Amino acid sequence: MKCPKCNSDLTPAIRHKVKVNYCQSCKGMWLERQDLEKLEDEVFDFGEDAKGTLAFSSTPTTAKCPECMAPLKRFNYRFYDLEMELCENQHGYWLDEDEDTRVLELMKKEEADEKRKLLAEDQWARTLKHLRSGSFLSKVKNLFR
């Protein structure tokens, strides 16, 4: 497999517990579709639905898919300010140097946000439950007696 950027040989490597095809010269890496999902699952499980929505807008590039030679398309990874390239034929994703580390950082951040949101929703649900409870209502009624 050749690097789509500098045409050097890609070598299998493990980064963040995920199998990638790594380019020693430009330090980019090729991830097969399921490998990117594994990278995400390392920190946060989006569930199957969210995984279908990886690419939002894309523009063609001059780099070619190492598997089918189709031009790779550049796209924004989820809604973040992180650009990756992908093969339209679903062969995989190209990440430039250290972009996999950024994916993990973004996922960790998302997980933290999600926990905070759940906590807030939890508290709100508990508050509503309390407001709707008979004991609270009777206390309010008692105030107006």
Binding site for Zn ion (CB under 5 A): 3, 5-6, 8, 23, 25-26, 65, 67-68, 70, 87, 89, 91
Nearest to Zn ion of 39, 63 (CB atom): 63
Nearest to Zn ion of 85, 107 (CB atom): 85
Cβ at position 89, least distance to Zn ion in Å: 4
Nearest to Zn ion of 6, 131 (CB atom): 6
Cβ at position 63, least distance to Zn ion in Å: 10
Nearest to Zn ion of 6, 50 (CB atom): 6
**Alpha carbons 77 and 80: distance in angstroms, whole number:** 6
Cβ at position 65, least distance to Zn ion in Å: 3
Cβ at position 19, least distance to Zn ion in Å: 17
Sign of CA dihedral 50, 80, 87, 31: negative
